[in-house]
Amino acid sequence: MSPCLDRYAVAGNPVAHSRSPAIHALFAAQTAQPVDYGRLLCPLDAFAATVRAFAAEGAKGCNVTVPFKFEAFELATRRSQRAELAQAANTLRFDPEAQGGWLADNTDGVGLVRDITVNAGVPLQGRRVLLLGAGGASAGVLGPLIEQGPREIVVANRTVDKAQALVDRHAAWASQHGVVLRASSLTSPGEGFDVFINGTAASLSGSGVPVGPEVLSPGGLALDMMYGQAAQPFMDWARAHGATPRDGLGMLVEQAAEAFALWRGVRPDTAPVLARLRAEIDAPASGASA
């Protein structure tokens, strides 16, 4: 690695599968930014120490993936509003103390919104949205979804209390944007949603989609935040029931672009990067999750 390059990495456990280094390498080449982006495997009990050591070596920032997004949020001295809403961060910028210290952001939600509204061309304003799951993935996207001004968002989860807690935390934000926001069990989330987003880990466990097809609407968007093999059962299910399936690959590229812009002040063009990843994913032996 050249000493002239600014260092970044994706921090997580595991990280070997991550496509973030490839995505950021393409962004760096496209924008001619001096960026070296690698992988930072953090022991489960030593996320903070590992990331601090990386920063002490002169690194400029990192993305954060499972299972450290909540710890990353705690580690920063400053947090973006969307990170505050999520109570989780997927991006850290190692600003020096004199500039206020480390900044935590969460670019997952804006990445999802951009993939839906720009890449898929589906407006969210005035629509009815079902968000399945109330874990870290859903927490990361709910604030930016609300910001789009859909008519209604239902957060449905196996453990209803978790969905209710997420809804309660976003209640003021929802009323500010004129959005009806409510929590639901998996048994009665409602029917005919324009946009259905799966933020559960159900695809990974192979247990199938945990709600009935009545949640879909003909031609409506059904998006799984996973991609590759992990998203396939959801995509097949959505298509079989007349919805338009979409995986999480666009969200993955868009959240990366937002992080890149935060670090470098330059926004890469995501379309060629997404097209290239799509071609790789469609080839045999694809990846698992964002």
Catalytic sites, residue numbers? 69
Q: Which segment (10-18, 22-30, 49-57, 135-143) binds ligand ATR by CB under 6 A?
A: 135-143
Least spacing, CB of residue 251 vs ligand ATR, in Å: 13
Quick check: 259 binds ligand ATR (CB under 6 A)? Answer: no
Quick one: which of 44, 98, 205, 218 contacts ligand ATR (CB under 6 A)?
205
Least spacing, CB of residue 143 vs ligand ATR, in Å: 15
Binding mask 138-177 for ligand ATR (x = CB under 6 A): -------------------xxx--x---------------
Q: Which segment (99-107, 119-127, 203-211, 257-265) binds ligand ATR by CB under 6 A?
A: 203-211
Quick one: which of 202, 215, 231, 277 contacts ligand ATR (CB under 6 A)?
202
DSSP labels, the chain: --TTSEEEEEEESS-TT--HHHHHHHHHHHHT--EEEEEEE--TT-HHHHHHHHHHTT--EEEE-TT-HHHHHHH-SEE-HHHHHHT--SEEE---GGGTS-EEE--HHHHHHHIIIIIS----TT-EEEEE--SHHHHHHHHHHHHT--SEEEEE-SSHHHHHHHHHHTHHHHHHTT-EEEEE-SS---S--SEEEE-SSHHHHT---SS-GGG--TT-EEEES--GGGGHHHHHHHHHTT-EEE-SHHHHHHHHHHHHHHHHS----HHHHHHHHHHHHHSSS-----
Binding site for ligand ATR (CB under 6 A): 133-137, 157-159, 162, 200-202, 205, 207, 210
